[in-house]
Amino acid sequence: MVLMAALAAAQEGAPAPRPNEDTGFFGAIGRWFDQQADKMNSSFGDARKKIENFGHEAGVAAKSTAAGAKDAADAVARIPSARVVTGHEKCVNAPNGAPDCVAAAVTMCKTKGFDSGKSMDMTTALVCPPKVLLSGRNSGPECRDETFVSRALCQ
């Protein structure tokens, strides 16, 4: 009797299948199609969000690129008389031993008719007396580094 009561209670607690749901082969196929449609809708929603985010990121990149181009154009407009000149002006050594090419760039620009300038390209070379080079050596205590300005932006 107890067994019958437990069996009856178990049957009452089990959810009854929905009347319109087919539990057979075609019902399984229908559920599979429903699941696939749900997955597809979710994927399309994710793709839409990613495309919207991509559009936003592209807009931000375009704005920052345009701002950078405007800043560059403004900088060029502020120096309408600026020119790049080439030459060979030796840099003197500063008290700390480093080459001071600021004065060399200004000198190069003044020889070309400008008031001031800034170095754009410098070259350093090892300069040795001919007797050192003729002896087959390419270094020694007689040799020294020489730095010179080869291009300057003059105004």
Question: What are 98-111's pLDDT values in tens digits?
Answer: 888 999 999 999 99
Residue where a domain stops, chosen among 24, 58, 78: 78
- Position 89 scores a pLDDT of 92
- Position 132 scores a pLDDT of 84
Domain hosting residue 55, numbered range: 49-78
* 142 and 128, same domain (yes or no): yes
Averaged pLDDT score across all residues of the chain: 78
Number of folded domains in the chain? Answer: 2
Percent of the chain with pLDDT over 90: 17
- Answer yes or no: is pLDDT of 18 > 60: no
* 87 and 73, same domain (yes or no): no
Strand order in the sheet with 83-90: 83-90, 144-154, 117-127
Is 70 within the bounds of a domain?
yes
Calculate mean pLDDT across residues 145-151.
91
User: Using CB atoms within 10 A of its CB, is residue 136 exposed (0-12), middle (13-18) or buried (19+)?
Assistant: exposed
* 55 and 107, same domain (yes or no): no
Is 15 within the bounds of a domain?
no
